[in-house]
Structure 1
């Protein structure tokens, strides 16, 4: 998982950071922050209270851009570049409340196939899908969810996810 942003409350104190995920046999996921070459453990209590969104996108810059927007909107964000990465994130992070996935991912399974599996294994997870190559009406999705065309407006994605969180 990689997140990019700024640390510090005042603009003069801000410094860039990159979040790095590490796996351990003792803990499903340990999050660490790499800050100017120094690392410190991030206590789980520091991220509680935020809705966790899994972003699945094979294009790194597109994934990074929406992840930053979601984090700035107050969401906790996990990232994966493909089906296998998404399944690992979901298995290791029971706090995931929603998934925003690209339909056309390389290599392997599509975002639609991923969404079907997620719906079957984790029914409460809200699903928002996107594609720049095809348009799918919400009613035509093979699962309960929403679709947004690429290029999308991050504000619309954020609003859609918030609306989806309000439905049961």
Structure 2
């Protein structure tokens, strides 16, 4: 079962995404900001994908988190989301899904990555 790290500061959105991903058969871990996400990634070896919002409190936003994931954990897949305009640059092989999104669109996007089926 692939493990997904959901990084979202809005609790209601985070819980909705977690429920949808769990129902789709993913193991889900949650973080409220990028600092928590980095700590989780450093402690665990079983994260297959990071799903992150861009705008979050803490020492880094979701784009910086995605760049850190790409540099330090290159096998981990990345999906980035925001309710604002699409960022001009995202890390290599990352996907972007704009908010508002349908939860099944997230699951479909995740399944496009190798080892996420």
**Does the alignment reach a TM-score above 0.5?**
yes
1:126-145 map, 5 Å: 126-136=77-87, 140-145=89-94
Structure 1, unaligned stretches of length 5 or more? 1-49
Structure 2, unaligned stretches of length 5 or more? none
> Which one has the largest radius of gyration?
1
Q: Quote the Cα distance in structure 1 between the aligned partners of 2:32 and 2:56.
A: 8
Q: Kindly report structure 1 stretches of 4+ aligned residues shifted beyond 3 Å.
A: none
TM-score (structure 1 length as normaliser)? 0.65
- 1:37-94 deviation line (CA, Å, top 9, x unaligned): xxxxxxxxxxxxx100000001111001000100000000000011110011111221
Q: Which has the higher contact order (CA 8 A, sep 6+)?
A: 2
Of 59, 68, 75, which aligns to 1:117?
Answer: 68
TM-score (structure 2 length as normaliser)? 0.93
Shift of 1:166: 4.9
Shift of 1:144: 2.1
Of 65-74 and 101-110, deviating more is 101-110
The question of 1:151 aligning with 2:100 is answered yes
Judging by fraction of residues, say which structure has more strand: 1
